[in-house]
Amino acid sequence: MRSLIALVPILLAGCAAGAQVPAAAPPPSEGSRPQADTVESGDVPAEPAAARAKTAAQYRAEAAAFIDRQVARAPIKGPAKNLIIFIGDGMGVGTITAGRIFEGEQQGRDGESLVAALDSLPYSALVKTYSTDFQVPDSAATATAIFTGTKSRSGTLGMAPSVTTGDCAASKGSPVETLFEQAEDAGRATGIISTARITHATPAATYAHSASRDWENDAVLPDEARAAGCIDIAAQLVNWNHGNGFELMMGGGRANFLRSDQADPEYPDKTGARTDGRNLAADWAAKTGGHYIWNGDQFAALPADGKPVLALFEPSHMQYDADRAEDPGKEPSIAAMTRAAIGRLSSDPDGFVLLVEGGRIDHAHHAGNAYRALDDFAAMDEAVRTALELTDPSDTMILVTADHSHVFTMAGYPPRGNPILGLVNADEDGAPATKDGKAYTTLGYANGPGAVPATGRPDPADVDTTAKDYLQQSLVPLGSETHSGEDVALKASGPEAYLVSGTIEQNAIYAIMAHALGLPLEK
């Protein structure tokens, strides 16, 4: 990870792409959604109907049924024909819990007891996320660990741990082969999907070898790196020479492929970012004969002809799912992209390997905006559900994990059924809980843009905390909320999924995937 000073502008730029998150939400207007079922001072609401309806005997019967299912479960042996790995960028355990409740509430159901799609995967492990140089990592080092099997320095992609961030010369002889390169060379189809830029750290770790995750286009390559022969990440994707190349690439990041004098097709007031005179999207289409698309209509009209697809739906990151309906290009959801990818890749008789990244969970957390983080969690969970419906667990391994967590908290004593984005104003005994007499939200951040001003803590009861633009209060004032170093979850189903257990190092995820696919493991 780079220094905080270096990292914050990048994170803020990422959060700014797509939806703009304002500094604070306005007070609720007349007729706006009330803070239903929140706790007023000294007043504890009745238990929700879902909790009241069950007896002790029913709860015990449910627990016994769980044991019956566990005992009856037989591990599926490999090798796996196909593998799909979902990465919720920044999706810590707290995000899974709050996201599950949010998802249930959006469906009008009991959020606390909802079984999310990722919850249904039968095998689990905790994953340690540190990089070789930081207790709290960045996405480049964590994705490198997942896709190459080696931990590395934060800020580097697909490199050995000896490479210092930004040192082009040292990186020339130190790339580490990725799982996707191995899969392509072995004849499998491969695909990558991300709601972030397709050249951003997590998707780039499947194909790129770079001393800096920031070198996404040629214009940002330092002169010394250019002189030493380093190539930007977008060019590496187009020039990728493993197998017959990716069969499918979908996400954002269009500006990194277009010339700086070239108008963006969706936003005429914007241009590409490249200064080398190349239109990489056109170069890729000419090289492969594939389909380059940039909007939802073209996505819907893709022919089932087996040709590769490069879809770049935004100049930078794709829209938050909460804002997708207003996108002029009508970009597809992450679930729709997942459905399309499985449909195209599954035609390969040798099988496929697919990455699906919910990249903007991370960006919403950096902005201190829990609504969009949880809404993007729910969108990715729908993509997981789609994959489970379209694949056979006897031949397809599905993994769901995060690269790292965030300093995101779920606290207080909100009663069962309280809106997850709502208020808390009492302790477990119903007595007033805050010394300043003001409410607080169940969700908050240890640091970030929502820090309390010196003039005193605003009362969240004065605004609609369930609004999608609301920023949760935080403790330490920062322009961008930070990652957390806590362990993250890994969920698995399908062939060899029983290997996912205990507490593991993040680079062991690579070994699990390679082993399940029958790819050679270096020892």
Strand 82-88 and strand 291-293: the pairing is unpaired
Nearest by Cα to 271 from 284, 256, 282? 256
Residue 430 — left, alpha, or beta (φ > 0 → left; ψ -120 to 50 → alpha)?
A: left
Nearest by Cα to 120 from 105, 142, 100, 98? 100
For residue 125, list its beta bridge partners.
Answer: 490
Residues in the chain: 523
**b/e burial code for range 407-418 (CB count within 10 A of at least 16 → b):** bbbbebebbbbb
Whole-number Cα distances in Å, 106 to 48, 231, 344, 464:
17, 45, 31, 17
Q: Is 69 exposed, middle or buried (0-12, 13-18, 19+ CB in 10 A)?
A: exposed
> Is residue 488 within 8 Å of 95, Cβ to Cβ?
no
- The dihedrals phi and psi of 124, each to the nearest 5 degrees, come to -140, 155
CB contact set of 227 (below 8 Å; sequence gap of 6+): none
Q: If you compute the radius of gyration of the chain from its CA atoms, what whole number of angstroms results? A: 23
> Is 152 an active-site residue?
no
Q: Is 219 exposed, middle or buried (0-12, 13-18, 19+ CB in 10 A)?
A: middle
* Residue among 131, 139, 212, 480 flagged as catalytic: 139
Residues marked active site are found at 139
